Structure 1
Amino acid sequence: MRFSSTDSYIATDDLTMAVNAAVTLERPLLVKGEPGTGKTELARQVAASLGVPMIEWNIKSTTRAHQGLYEYDAVSRLRDSQLGDERVHDVKNYIRKGKLWQAFEAGEKVVLLIDEIDKADIEFPNDLLQELDRMEFHVYETGETVRAAVRPIVIITSNNEKELPDAFLRRCFFHFIRFPEPEVLAQIVRVHHPGIKEQLLSTALTQFFELRETPGLKKKPSTSEMLDWLKLLLAEDLGPEDLKRDGANALPKLHGALLKNEQDVHLFERLAFMARRNQGR
């Protein structure tokens, strides 16, 4: 099973190598990178490329590691016992299988995505060490041990919001998705907008990277925001001449797709003001 770029996803050589190395080593692949660089989409494309199902576990700040294994619904069991329900005699009726359990019992190779692990409590990764290492866990309420018949391909994403424990990192194959170079970004755009004219693409890319490199920018626009921006440009039938900016008009056309906070909008407004003042001298 070897991963490669798909019709809808451009994977660089180093990313392809990282995915295949993790599959060969049977280690979780930890993918970091700034938001919008395609970390979550990578897991979907790996599943599509290898022709296997995907199980997705989206992590929140309130998520606990044990929820990935199972949850025991003691409240429902107590209620059913008060109502005389026959289900109460079998504790398995009150065990809710988590995403890891689903992946372990799938009976075939699957991709298990643990998305944005850095959102959870700092102890969250450590609490999964044994389960991800041994691919098994114990269910105390029933006394059974759940083992993975087929080891899943585990892809873990992080936006680098907090440091992950060393013990966890040692068990992973690591890859950092760098922001794509202009040539790679152009390939990505052509995949999503195959009919785009080269002159518009060239002008938009130049303006996009100029915007990303503006000193003082709080949030740099991502690949996904670039694609949204181009979708709007094409919908409005704008050409390269419509994207021209001068000092008095520093904000790009339809900038709401690229700039996502007022500080960055104000930055470009100040740049325009300074440019107008300099022109007036």
Structure 2
Amino acid sequence: MKFEGTDAYVATDDLTVAVNAAVTLERPLLVKGEPGTGKTELARQVAQALGLRLIEWNIKSTTRAQQGLYEYDAVSRLRDSQLGEERVHDVRNYIRQGKLWEAFEAGKKVVLLIDEIDKADIEFPNDLLQELDRMEFHVYETGETIRARHRPVIIITSNNEKELPDAFLRRCFFHYIRFPEAETMKKIVEVHHPGIKEALLTAALTQFYEIRDQPGLKKKPSTSEVLDWLKLLLAEDLSPEDLRRDGADVLPKLHGALLKNEQDVHLFERLAFMARRQR
């Protein structure tokens, strides 16, 4: 069981090493990086490459760790008891399995994605320490212990919005996805836009990296955003010459795909204004 990337996902050597190390060690793989660098997609591609089913647990600010194990619906049971329902006598009718339970009880090995763990409360990772370490948890309402039939491949993503506890980090294999360099980005673009003309790609990526390197930028455009931008450039049949900017027009063509807040748009407008004054 070895991951070497897929036709739809360009994985760098250090990323494939990290995935395979986590699989070998049977440790969760914690993947950090800028939003839009393919962290979530990595889990999908690992599942596809290894021929495993993917179970996704998308974390929100209101998500509790207990929800990944199970939830007990005491309110519904109380209502049913008042109505004299027969199902009230079996507490299992009121237990909803979470994503970890689903992964643990799967008949075959699966890939479990815990996506954007840093969105949750700071105690969220600590509340999963024992379950991810021992691959089991206790259901207090029924008195049973749920153990993993096959230890899942666990991939955890983080946008680095908050620090994760040391005890949690110790139990993970860590990898930071660096933003792709130009050559790697060209390979990524080729996957999504095969046959794109070299001249257009070179001009577009040159401009894209210039924008990312602009001092004072609040949100740097990501990989997913440059792919959207290139899709628009191809749809509009723009040429490398169309992308050229002068001092009066510093904003890139179709900049709404790259610049996602008014502060960054104003930054480039100010640069254009200053360039015009210096003429």
Q: What is the TM-score of this pair, normalised by structure 1?
A: 0.99
Partner of 2:278: 278
Partner of 2:162: 162
Distance 2:4 2:271 in 1: 43
**Paired amino acid for 1:109:** K
Distance 2:241 2:87 in 1: 70
Partner of 2:4: 4
Distance 2:84 2:143 in 1: 25
1:181 and 2:198 matched: no
Which 5+ residue runs of structure 1 have no aligned equivalent?
none
Distance 2:101 2:4 in 1: 28
Partner of 2:104: 104
Deviation at 1:4, TM superposition (A): 1.1
Aligned pairs for 1:96-245 (under 5 A) are 96-245=96-245
Aligned pairs for 1:22-33 (under 5 A) are 22-33=22-33
Moved runs in structure 1, 4+ residues, more than 4 A? none
Q: Equivalent pairs: percent with the same residue? A: 85
Q: Can you list the C-alpha shifts for 1:31-51, whole angstroms capped at 9, x where unaligned?
A: 000100000000000000001
**Paired amino acid for 1:246:** D
Distance 1:63 1:217 in 2: 31
Distance 2:84 2:167 in 1: 47
Distance 1:232 1:131 in 2: 45
SS of 2:62's equivalent in the other structure is coil
Partner of 2:82: 82
Which 5+ residue runs of structure 2 have no aligned equivalent?
none
**Paired amino acid for 2:49:** S
Partner of 1:254: 254
Distance 2:236 2:195 in 1: 15
Deviation at 1:70, TM superposition (A): 0.0
Q: Can you list the C-alpha shifts for 1:144-192, whole angstroms capped at 9, x where unaligned?
A: 0000010000000000000000000000000000000000000000000
Distance 2:51 2:228 in 1: 28
Q: Can you list the C-alpha shifts for 1:70-124, whole angstroms capped at 9, x where unaligned?
A: 0000011111111111110000000000000000000211000000000000000
Deviation at 1:247, TM superposition (A): 1.0
Distance 2:134 2:5 in 1: 30
Deviation at 1:195, TM superposition (A): 2.1
